[in-house]
Amino acid sequence: MSPVDFEPARAVADAVLYEGYLLYPYRGSSAKNRVRWQFGVLAPRAWIEANSPSVDGLSGSAESWWSRTECLFEGPADTTVELRLRFLQLQAGPALDRAVPQEVTARATIADLSRAEDVVEVAVDGIHGRLVWGAGGVDGPFRLHRIWARVENTDRDTAALSHRDQALRAAMVSTHVLLGLDGGGFLSLTDPPEWAAAAARSCHNIRTFPVLAGPEGQHRLVLSAPIILPDHPKVAPESPGDLFDAAEIDEILSLRTMTLTDAEKAEARATDPRAAEIVDRVDSMPPEILGRLHGAIRSLKPVAREPVGAGCRVRLRPRTRGGDIQDMFLEGRTATVESVLTDVDGSRFLAVYLDGDPRAEMGAGPGRLLHFSPEEVEHLG
């Protein structure tokens, strides 16, 4: 079994682990830091069933005692898959509860998981849980498999009517799953190839949102988080460190932290070592680092020398993933643009007819026109 490299996904996974850990102004006396741990909380079952309005639905309950991840894998059955269950364990602190990261690892081949599900007991200093995972084939012309993992809190000692703070002592917090392969590749559930679209829709993810992890083009890692992320999420390269609030902007939070009084900064430092790291980092931030946070442009694309419009001749260069699988047979074919259209969200696409297609002489009709984004054509004049 070859080792699986999770390093390309670690920065984002760590950001998920500590999302909402502490919020600005990072002080224990702040009201927003008195109700914590909003994401990925798997608490004792008895407590959840006594206090949650809905524990089995997709929504209606921010907390539960279990979660489920399902994703799709394409490749041979002898491929090894490694699973890492990661969560925070709460510990009492002088001002606020602190959290210690925990990780449980399991490894198996797809064939082994297809023959029998694997059960891994989780026992970490007062936390009792269970990971049950398995795999199975998916009907179709390709070697497609479904991998699933269910994480449960199996604590039986916490009373149903306990205070939330007590229940959290036995809870797994910020619970998420990393999956990695030593061969083959995962398929995107948000943008699957056309032939796997039905299988992707049939995946049941409860309180988790699995996405492809690592850099663009890599398909051997999946991050299944309790928050919604896009495929291949990444931490902004100009970010100097975590601020525990990925919905905010580093520049704004850094500037706000700079405005804290000396007394407020002292309280934040005493609240938690990670809060102290934020305050110290912001206090010593060089102007050039702060300036780098002021703005970054990542969406610029090369612009064609001439705009592509009606009557232009183009060569088709369909994208290989996320598009119609039939388009691959049109790679390199030339066509003429009949019109430029705009959909409801403002995206442009080109309606073209293939050169040499006899239907082009028949006027507009079903199947005559093909549609591509401007990035999928090469302008010929």
Q: Which residues contact 193 (CB under 8 A, 6 or more apart)?
A: 187, 321, 322, 325
Same domain, yes or no: 343 and 231: no
Q: Which burial class, exposed, middle or buried, applies to 114 when counting CB atoms under 10 A from its CB (0-12, 13-18, 19+)?
A: middle
Place of tokens 């409860």: 206
Low-confidence ranges of the chain (pLDDT < 70): 1-2, 53-62, 295-306, 320-325, 344-345, 359-367
**What does the alpha-carbon distance between residue 24 and residue 258 come to, in Å, rounded to a whole number?**
11
Choosing from 235, 265, 291, the residue where a domain stops is: 235
What lies within 8 Å, CB to CB, of 110 at 6+ separation is: 73, 75, 76, 77, 78, 79, 81, 135, 145, 147
Residue 160 placed within a domain: yes
The model carries a pTM of: 0.76
- 41, 173 Cβ separation under 8 angstroms: yes
Give the per-residue pLDDT at 34: 85
Task: Check whether residue 201 and residue 344 sit in a common domain.
Answer: no
Instruction: State the Cα–Cα distance between residues 227 and 160, nearest whole angstrom.
Output: 27
Q: Look up residue 276 and give its DSSP letter.
A: H
DSSP state of 333: -
| Token pair of 238 as six digits | 């100009």
**Which pair of tokens denotes residue 164?**
């939330």
For residues 207 and 353, state if they share a domain. no
Residue 325 lies in a domain: yes
Domain check: are 212 and 324 in the same one? no
284 falls within a domain = no
pLDDT at 330: 87
Answer yes or no: do 11 and 145 share one domain.
yes
Do 99 and 216 have their domain in common? yes
pLDDT number for residue 299: 59
My answer on whether 202 and 317 are in the same domain is no
Could you give the CA distance from residue 293 to residue 323 in angstroms, rounded to a whole number?
35
Preceding omega of 25 cis (within 30 degrees of 0): yes
Q: pLDDT value at position 201?
A: 93
Cβ burial of 47 (10 Å; 0-12, 13-18, 19+) is buried
State the total domains in the chain.
Answer: 2
183 and 93 in a single domain? The answer is yes
Residue 319 lies in domain = 313-379
CA distance 145 to 338: 41
Rounded distance, CA 223 to CA 186, Å?
11
Asked if residue 356 belongs to a domain, the reply is yes
Q: Would you say 325 and 193 are in contact if contact means Cβ atoms under 8 Å apart?
A: yes
